[in-house]
Amino acid sequence: MVTDIAVIGGGVAGLMSAFEASRAGARVVLLDSRKEVGLPVQCGEAISENTLNLTGLKDDGEWIAHTVEGFRVRSPSGFDLYTRLRGFSIRRDLLEKELASRAASNGAVILSSATVESAELKDGRWLLSTRKGTITAGFVIIACGANQYLPVFFGFEGHQNSFRGIGIKLKRKDFGNDLIFLVKGDLKGGYGWYFPRGDGVNAGVCALTDLTAQLDWLKRTLSIRDDEIISYHGGAIPVDGLRAGLIGSSCLLVGDAGGFSNPITKGGIIGAVLSGREAGKAVASFLAGDGTALTDWEGRMRSHTAFSPLNLKRAEFLASLEDGLLNEITGLVSGREINTIPTSELMRLVLSRPDLLKRMKKGVHLVRGGREWMKWSF
Ligand SMILES: Cc1cc2nc3c(=O)[nH]c(=O)nc-3n(C[C@H](O)[C@H](O)[C@H](O)COP(=O)(O)OP(=O)(O)OC[C@H]3O[C@@H](n4cnc5c(N)ncnc54)[C@H](O)[C@@H]3O)c2cc1C
């Protein structure tokens, strides 16, 4: 099979790329390892309204399991840091199936059970070997998620550090209004999550180590009984920020493969949607003769608030907070919308804790406009 663009990976990043590139008139073949688009789901399935808007889909699709009005970060003492931000618990399998069908209706070919096993650049074209045969492509969009080996075939060196995430689906009715993130010092920047979905709940925990022990902690904290657990899932969450290079020879990296997940929130759907969508358009323009389309894309991605290198510093700072400080910070703001708290009040807390001030000086700046940043961060 010969095509203009091959997309490797049928998660949200790859599907958005395939959709946009085929919409712009390019011939697109998407190759995915999974037997069926969208399944199995390896995700907490929570997104902000802003993420959904980026897909161009409406919030009335059957992939919306439940609508929430805010996000709560809960410290060990049980105090909450709260922000109003509309979001959704979604059926990610259905969202991906919808994106795939939209891409297919533009003419993109979606091939399941088609793992790319090797890649070779010959006479300016990529030859991709799969069990379904060889695909010859003028350009490759690599959207293989946290898979570490595939980018190496295309000349991308370097290992991405990852958190591990383990998720559970619960048989528990909960129509709660907020997505809840449970933090504690020994998670070192990881967190537990509890996302109500109406007729069920997605919960889980991400951490660098000790996932089993941390899952036990989550179950104790949320009084989860074993007979409530329907299924387990899990995976890696890259936390190094954007890779040093995103563009190679007739190929580029999007989504988790490019490090587009947020090192603080560990949320990656927004980065996958945005990077995939914009890359699909850019690669189609590049193949149509726009010589700067790819470097413009990379420049836009690197300067975007969501992918600021400052997030790595912020993540480092948050990972350094132990239980006492987490309790103090959340205790100060408990129950109030964080964006309504005067900076002077936040500064008073910081100044009363010289150790906190010292850690922040390493590179974290308090900035106004937190709401805008929140909008982009998850
Ligand atoms: C437990 C867990 C919970 C999470 N919860 C959330 C959440 O609630 N909200 C949020 O925003 N983010 C969450 N994330 C992160 C989010 O799931 C990812 O950032 C997002 O899925 C990245 O999308 P992607 O398209 O880049 O990669 P993926 O969704 O991982 O898709 C990659 C695709 O590439 C395919 N593939 C890999 N190698 C090959 C190959 N060689 N050939 C062909 N196909 C290949 C895979 O089969 C897969 O379908 C979570 C992650 C984990 C692990």
Q: If you average pLDDT over residues 130-140, what whole number do you get?
A: 96
Structure tokens at 285: 């323009």
Instruction: For ligand 1, atom 41, name the residue with the nearest CA.
Output: 116
Q: How far is the CA of 367 from the centre of ligand 1 (A)?
A: 31
pLDDT attached to residue 338 = 77
pLDDT over 80 at 371, yes or no: no
Instruction: Give this prediction's pTM.
Output: 0.94
Regarding whether 297 and 175 lie in a shared domain, the answer is no
Instruction: For ligand 1, atom 15, name the residue with the nearest CA.
Output: 268
Name the E strands within the chain: 2-8, 28-31, 46-48, 64-74, 80-90, 109-111, 118-122, 125-130, 133-142, 162-170, 178-182, 191-196, 201-207, 229-238, 247-248, 251-253
Regarding whether 146 and 231 lie in a shared domain, the answer is no
Q: How far is the CA of 25 from the centre of ligand 1 (A)?
A: 26
Regarding whether 248 and 212 lie in a shared domain, the answer is no
Regarding whether 352 and 255 lie in a shared domain, the answer is no
Q: If you average pLDDT over residues 233-259, what whole number do you get?
A: 96
Regarding whether 220 and 135 lie in a shared domain, the answer is no
Which of 189-198, 254-263, 300-309 is predicted with the least confidence, judged by mean pLDDT?
300-309
Please indicate whether residue 293 or residue 341 has the higher confidence score (pLDDT).
Answer: 293
pLDDT attached to residue 364 = 59
The pLDDT-based confidence of 323 (bands split at 50, 70, 90) is: very high
Of 306, 325, 357, which marks where a domain is finished?
306
Give the amino acid at 143.
Answer: A
Query: Which CATH number characterizes residue 345's domain?
Result: 3.30.9.10
| Domain containing residue 355 | 46-90+162-238+309-378
pLDDT attached to residue 261 = 93
Which of 2-11, 118-127, 311-320 is predicted with the least confidence, judged by mean pLDDT?
311-320
Residue 238 alpha carbon, nearest atom of ligand 1: 19
pLDDT tens digits, residue range 23-64?
Answer: 999 999 999 999 999 999 999 999 999 888 888 888 888 999
Of 273, 289, 306, which marks where a domain is finished?
306
Q: How far is the CA of 17 from the centre of ligand 1 (A)?
A: 14
Regarding whether 97 and 31 lie in a shared domain, the answer is yes
Binding pocket residue ranges, ligand 1, CB within 6 Å:
8-14, 31-34, 42-47, 115-116, 143-145, 147, 150, 165, 167, 204, 234-235, 237, 255-257, 261, 267-269, 272
Q: Which of 22, 21, 40, 33 is nearest to 132 (CA)?
A: 33
pLDDT over 80 at 362, yes or no: no
pLDDT attached to residue 330 = 84
Q: Which of 145, 167, 161, 164 is nearest to 46 (CA)?
A: 167
